[in-house]
Structure formats: structure tokens, C-alpha cells
Structure 1
Amino acid sequence: MNTMRIMKTLPRQWRSISRCSVLSQEIIHAASPMTVPVPEGGQKPVSSKIEKLVSEITTLNLLEVSELSQVLKKRLNLPDAPLMPAGGFAAAAPAVPIEEEEVAPKAVKTSFTVKMSKFDEKQKVALIKEVKSLLEGFNLVQAKKFVESVPTIVKADISKDEAEKLKVALTKVGAVVEIE
């Protein structure tokens, strides 16, 4: 009789113990120290990971910094930024009257779009394989549908070097490619 009563109360006791442990976990989590927001104008605290990176970068010499910059530009696909003069902008000389045609500076294009307009039907299989290897995340079925949907944009907003490489690779396998 006594064991029967114990067997009936065990599940209830287990539930209450479980609830207590969950509540204690919530209390511990809620009692963890909160961060106080930094007032405006003050410096925000920096994470240890960022601090470590900064200390490593500051130990680099000028050549290593240049190499780091080139690698980051390539990996993050960033365009080259125009160089600023070391002393800032110098005082401009008095303006000489110039014709209106010369005043308008020509805009330098930094991002290009590669467009495939048509392809050679005899080299369709090779083109599909090339598209699969050039475009990330494409399988053969997607590459086939992509090639068959010509005219189409292969890649947009890329550097001139990358656009030229794509054009060369695709023209080798029978595609007619335009860079815009």
C-alpha cells in the first residue's frame, strides 16, 4: 500500500523538481549583469577579437599593409578607391575660361555587367559545363536552363578584370558575350 502511494506521487514530484530547475535557470540568466549603454560622444567598448586584430594590423609594415589591402579588396569585391592628396586639397589656381565640352569630366565606370546574347548550338554542352563551373551554386540542370534562356545577364556589378575573364572563358566555348 505504501509503495503504491509513492509510485503515484513520483511523477508529480519529478515535474515539480523539473519546474524548479527551469525557474532557477531563468533567474540565473535574468540576474546576469546588463551592459550600460555608452553615452553619446563617449567611446564604445571594443570586443577582444577586434582589439586583437587591431594590435596585429598595427605591427605590419607598409608593404604588408598594402598586400592586406589588396587581398581584402579582392576577397570582398571592393572597387579601388581614388587616392586623396596627402595634404588634402590645395588652393585652386584662378580659373581660366574653358569650353563647356572640356568642363564635364568623363565618368569612370567601375562596375560592369556581362551579358550573353547568343551561343553556338554545336558547343552547347561545353558552354553548359563552363557556366556550371563559373557561376557558383549552379548544377547542370540550372546551367542548362540558364544557357537556354539566352539572351541573359551572366553577372552584374563586377570589376572590369572579372568581366574580361568571364568574357574570354565564355567565348572560348562558343558564346557571344557583351560587357556593358
Structure 2
Amino acid sequence: MAITKEDIIKALEEMKLTELNELVKAIEEHFDVVASAGVAVAAGPAVADAAPSEVAIMLTNAGGQKVAVIKVVKEVTGLGLMDAKKLVDGTLPVAIKENVKIEEADAIKAQLIEAGASVEYK
């Protein structure tokens, strides 16, 4: 069964920005071409649809191991223990950290998920 354009697009939508960057580099090397920045600029509307460079990390559910989640929140925000606890125990969803670069957000998200929390970007 052949891979369709839709399959490729779906796979690209699920990739992180760093993975997409690595893919572009691999394609450039394999086909001996250079991706031109002018093409991306000329695309117009596609630029508006591009993933944001910074996001807010939203805690949507603290999960069953709140103590572990509180520790991670304390670590990544620099808050004191009581403030981190209030944040986790408060009304959800709540922004844990805002204006975070995607790479840092992915690392924080992984820590929170490992601690048992549910997280999304906004």
C-alpha cells in the first residue's frame, strides 16, 4: 500500500518543531537541495498557520499523585512550596508557565506527565 499525501501531512502535523527541522535537514542532504526561506515567506497564509514559537503550559488535571506534580510545579516555576500547592489545588486549567519556548515547554510537559499530570499548550 502506497503512502498518500494525506498520510504524510498527518505525520507532519504530529511532529514537534525540532523534529520537523531535523526532517528538513535530512531532505536537504538526501536530495542535495537547499530549503529557501523565501518560499516560506511567499506562502503567506501558511506562515499564519505555523506552530507558535512560544506557548503557555496549562495544567488541566493534577492526577492522583499531586505531591509529585506540586514538586515539579515548584521546580519549574520557582514558586515556594505553598504557592505551588495552591496553584495545583486551585481551579483547573491553570497556566503553570507562560511565554515558554517550545523546546523548554516539551521538557516541562514531559516532567509533569511523568509526575501524573495532564498538560496542554495554549
Using the size of structure 2 for normalisation, the TM-score is: 0.57
Choose which of 37, 40, 62 in structure 2 pairs with 1:119.
Answer: 62
Mark the CA change 1:103 to 1:167 in structure 2 (over 3 Å): closer, same or farther: closer
Larger radius of gyration: 1
CA distance in 2 between counterparts of 1:160 and 1:139 reads 25
Mark the CA change 1:159 to 1:103 in structure 2 (over 3 Å): closer, same or farther: closer
CA distances 1:29-70 after superposition (whole Å, capped 9, x unpaired) = xxxxxxxxxxxxxxxxxxxxxxxxxxxxxxxxxxxxxxxxxx
Give the structure with the larger strand fraction.
2
CA distances 1:92-147 after superposition (whole Å, capped 9, x unpaired) = xxxxxxxxxx65332232111110111213x11111112111111x1111111010
Mark the CA change 1:103 to 1:145 in structure 2 (over 3 Å): closer, same or farther: closer
CA distance in 2 between counterparts of 1:172 and 1:159 reads 20
After the TM superposition, which residues 1-180 of structure 1 pair with which residues of structure 2 at under 5 Å, given as runs? Answer: 104-107=45-48, 108=50, 109-121=52-64, 123-136=65-78, 138-149=79-90, 150-180=92-122
Kindly indicate whether structure 1 or structure 2 has the higher relative contact order, using CA contacts under 8 Å at least 6 residues apart: 2
CA distance in 2 between counterparts of 1:133 and 1:104 reads 39
Q: After the TM superposition, which segments of 4 or more aligned residues of structure 1 sit over 4 Å from their partners? A: none
Count of residues paired in the alignment: 78
Gaps of 5+ in 1: 1-89, 91-101
Gaps of 5+ in 2: 1-37
- Aligned residue for 2:97, secondary structure, equals strand
% identity of equivalent residues: 31
